[in-house]
């Protein structure tokens, strides 16, 4: 059995849970400890199974809860060295473990495959978590679909996939021009259309669930993101995530 859930997803906090019968990992620590506990309780996933936290990059929405989570749970935190050096002022985890993009990290038999991506951070990474013969991707904060992204996406049975913005809403919205350019750039975020293109071109026949993730509050709506995926293969269930509450828990 595998349980997966987005405990928070969006520009004010990201934290993704992936676990099996006995053990689990969190990807990113962008919500505060109490919120993490409350959302895990509501979702019905067990914090006692969490063995490690992987940090994708140093932006606040991925690390702002790290101090409290690190202090309370005494878990190892996995970083690249550059990401750690850009985060260290913010907290002191009980135990730091370093990885290089491309490494596969073993956590109680859960294999976490790491890979680099384009995003405006010091050493941004994404992850594919492998357990019980299944692979779960966590792919947010991606400026452009590189070969590493599409190759890892193609292996996934389920994926948390960024669907950050609707192009019309972004370009006609209230963001200052420099920020619009940053979001749409090769080191920004994936639009609904870019994300759907990745999914429609590279999905494995085994892909069963896509969680639309890191949906912008300013430049997107859940309805628009879901609509962009309306033509996805029939065997794929598309689910929204939220900044305000935990997503549905999917068990594979």
Q: Name the site residues for Zn ion (rule: CB under 5 A).
A: 59, 61, 141
d(CA 158, CA 213): 13
When the beta carbons of 3 and 141 are compared against Zn ion, the nearer one is 141
When the beta carbons of 59 and 243 are compared against Zn ion, the nearer one is 59
How buried is 235 (Cβ within 10 angstroms: 0-12 exposed, 13-18 middle, 19+ buried)? exposed
Element (H, E) at 95: strand 95-98
CB of 233 to Zn ion, least distance (A): 27
When the beta carbons of 70 and 124 are compared against Zn ion, the nearer one is 124
Strand order of the sheet with strand 15-19?
A: 95-98, 76-79, 50-54, 24-27, 15-19, 3-8, 250-251
CB of 251 to Zn ion, least distance (A): 26
CB of 242 to Zn ion, least distance (A): 14
d(CA 227, CA 231): 8
CB of 121 to Zn ion, least distance (A): 6
When the beta carbons of 110 and 124 are compared against Zn ion, the nearer one is 124
CB of 197 to Zn ion, least distance (A): 21
* Residue given tokens 């063995």 in the structure block: 51
d(CA 150, CA 156): 10
Contact 156, 236 (CB under 8 A): no
Sign of the torsion angle spanned by Cα atoms 194, 200, 204, 210: positive
d(CA 38, CA 165): 28
CB of 170 to Zn ion, least distance (A): 16
When the beta carbons of 20 and 140 are compared against Zn ion, the nearer one is 140
CB of 60 to Zn ion, least distance (A): 8
Helix, strand or coil, per DSSP, at residue 197 = helix
When the beta carbons of 141 and 166 are compared against Zn ion, the nearer one is 141
Show the tokens assigned to 50. 């969490």
When the beta carbons of 148 and 154 are compared against Zn ion, the nearer one is 148
């Amino acid at each position: 059995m595998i349980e997966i859930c987005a405990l928070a997803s969006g520009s004010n906090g990201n934290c993704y849970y992936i676990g099996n019968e006995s053990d689990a990992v969190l990807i990113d620590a962008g919500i505060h400890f109490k919120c993490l506990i409350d959302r895990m309780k509501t979702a019905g996933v067990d914090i006692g199974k969490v063995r490690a936290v992987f940090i994708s990059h140093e932006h606040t929405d991925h690390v702002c809860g790290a101090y409290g989570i690190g202090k309370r749970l005494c878990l190892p935190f996995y970083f690249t060295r550059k990401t750690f050096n850009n985060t260290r002022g913010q907290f002191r985890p009980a135990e730091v473990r370093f990885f290089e993009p491309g490494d596969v990290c073993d956590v109680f038999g859960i294999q976490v495959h790491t890979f680099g991506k384009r995003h405006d951070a010091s050493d941004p990474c994404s992850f594919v978590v492998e357990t019980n013969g299944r692979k779960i991707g966590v792919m947010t904060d991606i400026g452009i679909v590189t070969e590493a992204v599409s190759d890892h996406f193609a292996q996934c049975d389920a994926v948390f996939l960024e669907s950050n913005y609707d192009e019309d809403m972004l370009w006609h919205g209230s963001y200052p021009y420099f920020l619009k350019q940053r979001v749409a750039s090769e080191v920004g975020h994936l639009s609904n259309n870019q994300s759907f293109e990745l999914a429609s071109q590279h999905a494995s026949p085994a892909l069963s669930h896509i969680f639309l993730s890191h949906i912008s509050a300013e430049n997107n709506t859940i309805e628009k993101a879901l609509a962009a995926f309306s033509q996805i293969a029939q065997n794929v269930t598309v689910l929204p995530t939220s900044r305000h509450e935990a997503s549905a828990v999917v068990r594979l």
